[in-house]
């Protein structure tokens, strides 16, 4: 089965920051950026970014270079990113909230990254990095003396724009390279599909190193709207909630776990700040509709939630579903929608042949959004990017490793990972299937299922659940599950939590949950309310 999207013609120059420059030229007085007390117009931000670009060029950064950026949320961060792009280089988000050891490992994967831009507070985080480490706030750089006009740099749509790290199954992060044309296509689709404009202000709430954050940073600047930065290294739900109301924020891009915290804040307070949003674009992990249904269906709530699927290797978003039928989500899996512009989604078997309509297969993606590959991975990882013959021509595919199927209405449904399976009593089980079964129960708001054991005969399933009611009846839950799924899919243990711990990207931290189970302390930790 193949899901084909609308094929939308694109301009010859598919460079996102050129669109930002056009807004700066036409409306230099418009608000472009806020962060705490900082305010910059489009004209001011563009001029600063141009000065950064000229400075970077003076130290050898050129077309094809890769520049690390490890700066706290500030105007300096955004000006540096734009300056890197204007210089013809690709930027690498090195999130200051990540542990030093994680940053060190990421930097070690990119020997061609010979410049790292930092701030005074983040300089110690990249100590020992090879190449040149530059404090962009150092007055000695003399940025103000560089031209405020755009540098003349030839950039091709197939050049790299950013490199984002994804988790590797071996524990080593993979540097995923994204092209300008794919990024432009995504931003253009968001703009046209959802009628985004200069009033579509966005608040960046996710971790800087998360792939969602790259579109969250650039989408408002692509549409001529203000970008609002949360002036905090880590996500602060109280601050984010307040700023959404005070700044008139209209769009958010975030993981479901971040949205849950914001919705809970609104429901607990009985206020209506989030209903002022136009769209929340959700991705990065499975979505539990039950955790937002009461809020989303409140009378007068005009905010539309978009459940999106994608991978960093294919410019973050491959499909999108408008969440409107909450009754159906309680009975079955939530669709991930139809493809974005100029993108195709293929459901294939192990031989990369199409499976019959409605059957489960591996999700593969083709089209302009497929990235340039990994900059540091070995042949096994690079093999996920394959070229196949289709309709007499070559088609480049990315094999996601995710499983899914298509509905009769032509939407994608994601059912789990090919490698997210365990054997229980000799039977292979997909953890996603078990989680979905537990989440459907009326007494459960959300669930994560973790395998505990050596991986042999003693492996057991533990379900960590957020109850829908104050009282949690484990016996009743187990009994009801036995009526709906095979016995070997029913978790042997259920642990009730107030909330799940989150990793820096705002996703459920499954490794932390598994570690606490092994240590005998399955507490909610940092995710608790």
CATH number of residue 375's parent domain: 2.30.38.10
CB atoms within 10 A of CB 19: 21
Tokens for 72, please give them.
């706290």
Q: What is the pLDDT of residue 284?
A: 85
Please identify which residue in the block is written with the tokens 């497929």. Answer: 370
426/517 same-domain check: yes
Q: Give the C-alpha separation, 296 to 446, whole Å.
A: 16
Q: Give the C-alpha separation, 66 to 46, whole Å.
A: 21
Q: Give the C-alpha separation, 312 to 215, whole Å.
A: 11
Look at residue 393 and tell me if it is in a domain: yes
408/431 same-domain check: no
Q: For residue 331, with 0-12 CB atoms within 10 Å meaning exposed, 13-18 middle and 19 or more buried, which class applies?
A: exposed
Strands 393-406 and 361-367, sheet pairing: antiparallel
Look at residue 363 and tell me if it is in a domain: yes
Q: What is the pLDDT tens value at each position of the chain, 529 positions in all?
A: 789 989 999 999 999 999 999 999 999 999 999 999 999 999 999 999 999 999 999 999 999 999 999 999 999 999 999 999 999 999 999 999 888 888 988 999 999 999 999 999 999 999 888 889 999 999 999 999 999 999 999 999 999 999 999 875 555 788 999 999 999 999 999 999 999 999 999 999 998 998 999 999 999 999 999 999 999 988 899 999 999 999 999 999 999 989 999 999 999 999 999 999 999 999 988 888 999 999 999 999 999 999 999 999 999 999 999 999 999 998 888 999 999 999 999 999 999 999 998 999 999 999 999 999 999 888 888 999 999 988 788 999 999 999 999 999 999 999 877 766 665 655 567 687 788 889 888 889 899 988 887 544 457 889 999 998 877 788 889 888 887 776 778 898 999 998 898 877 777 888 788 777 766 666 543 333 2
462/357 same-domain check: no
Look at residue 210 and tell me if it is in a domain: no
Q: b/e for 272-294, b at 16 or more Cβ within 10 A?
A: ebbeebbbbbbbbebbbbbbbbe
Cα distances from 237 to residues 244, 468, 506, in angstroms, run 11, 21, 11
Residues whose CB falls within 8 Å of the CB of residue 318, separated by 6 or more in sequence, listed in order: 309, 310, 311, 339, 340, 343, 345, 365, 369
Choosing from 133, 155, 177, the residue where a domain stops is 155
Please identify which residue in the block is written with the tokens 């307040």. Answer: 242
Query: Is the CB of residue 177 less than 8 Å from the CB of residue 372?
Result: yes
* CA end-to-end span of the chain: 43
Choosing from 110, 129, 155, the residue where a domain stops is 155
47/145 same-domain check: yes
Look at residue 325 and tell me if it is in a domain: no
60/149 same-domain check: yes
Q: What is the pLDDT of residue 331?
A: 80
Q: What is the pLDDT of residue 509?
A: 85
Number of domains in the chain: 3
431/498 same-domain check: yes
CB atoms within 10 A of CB 234: 11
Please identify which residue in the block is written with the tokens 């294919």. Answer: 314
Q: What is the pLDDT of residue 469?
A: 81
Query: Is the CB of residue 405 less than 8 Å from the CB of residue 358?
Result: yes
Of 319, 317, 279, nearest to 407 by C-alpha is 319
Range of the domain at 52: 38-155
**What region does 193 belong to: left with phi over 0, alpha with psi -120 to 50, or beta?**
alpha
403/433 same-domain check: no
With helix as H, strand as E and coil as C, how does 438-467 read?
HHCCCCEEEEEEEEECCCCCCCEEEEEEEE
Look at residue 378 and tell me if it is in a domain: yes
408/437 same-domain check: no
150/47 same-domain check: yes
Cα distances from 448 to residues 338, 357, 423, 431, 470, in angstroms, run 26, 29, 17, 9, 19
Q: Give the C-alpha separation, 165 to 211, whole Å.
A: 8
Look at residue 260 and tell me if it is in a domain: no
Q: Give the C-alpha separation, 42 to 16, whole Å.
A: 15
424/412 same-domain check: no
445/385 same-domain check: no
Residues whose CB falls within 8 Å of the CB of residue 483, separated by 6 or more in sequence, listed in order: none
377/463 same-domain check: no
Look at residue 239 and tell me if it is in a domain: no
Look at residue 70 and tell me if it is in a domain: yes
Rounded to the nearest 10 degrees, the angle between the axes of helix 211-223 and helix 75-86 is: 80
Q: Give the C-alpha separation, 351 to 362, whole Å.
A: 10
State the CATH number of the domain containing residue 99: 3.40.50.980
State the CATH number of the domain containing residue 501: 3.30.300.30
With helix as H, strand as E and coil as C, how does 84-138 read?
HHHCCCEEEECCCCCCHHHHHHHHHCCCCCCEEEECCCCHHHHCCCCCEEEECCC
Choosing from 135, 155, 175, the residue where a domain stops is 155
Q: What is the pLDDT of residue 101?
A: 82
With helix as H, strand as E and coil as C, how does 313-350 read?
HHCCCCEEEEECCHHHHHHCCCCCEEECCCEEEEEECC
């Amino acid at each position: 089965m193949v899901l084909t999207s609308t094929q939308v013609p694109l301009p010859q120059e598919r460079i996102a920051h050129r669109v930002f420059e056009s807004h700066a030229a036409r409306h230099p007085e418009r608000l472009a950026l806020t962060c705490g007390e900082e305010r910059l117009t489009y004209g001011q931000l563009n001029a600063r970014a141009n000065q950064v670009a000229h400075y970077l060029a003076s130290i050898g950064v050129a077309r094809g270079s890769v520049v690390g950026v490890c700066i706290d949320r500030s105007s300096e961060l955004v000006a540096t990113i734009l300056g890197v792009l204007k210089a013809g280089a690709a930027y690498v988000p090195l999130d200051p909230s990540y542990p030093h050891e994680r940053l060190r490992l990421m930097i070690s994967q990119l020997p061609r990254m010979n410049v790292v831009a930092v701030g005074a507070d983040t300089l110690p985080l990249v100590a020992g990095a090879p190449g040149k480490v530059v404090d962009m706030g150092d007055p000695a750089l003399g940025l103000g003396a560089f031209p405020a006009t755009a540098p003349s740099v030839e950039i091709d749509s197939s050049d790299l724009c950013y490199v984002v790290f994804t988790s590797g199954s071996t524990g080593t992060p993979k540097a995923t390279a994204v092209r300008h044309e794919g990024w432009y296509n995504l931003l253009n689709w968001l703009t046209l599909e959802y009628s985004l404009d200069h009033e579509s202000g966005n608040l960046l709430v996710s971790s800087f190193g998360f792939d969602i954050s790259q579109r969250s940073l650039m989408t408002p600047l692509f549409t001529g709207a203000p970008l609002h930065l949360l002036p905090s290294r880590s996500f602060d739900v109280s601050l984010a909630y307040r700023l959404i109301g005070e700044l008139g924020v209209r769009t958010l891009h975030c993981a479901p776990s971040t949205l849950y915290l914001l919705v809970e804040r609104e429901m607990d307070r009985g206020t209506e700040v989030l209903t002022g949003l136009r769209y929340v674009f959700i991705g990065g992990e499975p979505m539990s509709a039950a955790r937002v249904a009461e809020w989303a269906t409140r009378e007068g709530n005009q905010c539309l939630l978009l459940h999106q699927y994608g991978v960093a290797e294919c410019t973050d978003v491959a499909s999108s579903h408008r969440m409107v039928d909450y009754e159906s989500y309680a009975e079955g899996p939530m669709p991930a929608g139809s493809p974005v512009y100029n993108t195709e989604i293929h459901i294939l078997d192990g031989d990369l042949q199409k499976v019959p309509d409605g059957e489960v297969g591996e999700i593969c993606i083709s089209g302009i959004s497929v990235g340039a590959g990994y900059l540091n991975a070995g042949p096994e990882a690079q093999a996920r990017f394959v070229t196949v013959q289709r309709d007499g021509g070559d088609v480049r595919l990315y094999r996601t490793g995710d499983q899914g199927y298509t509905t009769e209405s032509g939407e994608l449904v994601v059912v789990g990972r090919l490698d997210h399976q365990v054997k229980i009593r000799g039977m292979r089980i997909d953890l996603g299937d078990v989680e979905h079964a537990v989440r459907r129960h009326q007494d459960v708001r959300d669930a994560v299922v973790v395998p505990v054991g050596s991986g042999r005969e003693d492996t057991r399933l533990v379900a960590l659940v957020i109850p829908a009611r104050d009282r949690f009846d484990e016996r009743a839950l187990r009994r009801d599950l036995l009526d709906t799924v095979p016995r070997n899919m029913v978790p042997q243990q259920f642990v009730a939590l107030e909330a799940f711990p989150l990793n820096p990207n705002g996703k459920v931290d499954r490794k932390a949950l598994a570690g606490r189970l092994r240590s005998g302390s399955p507490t909610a930790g940092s995710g608790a309310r």
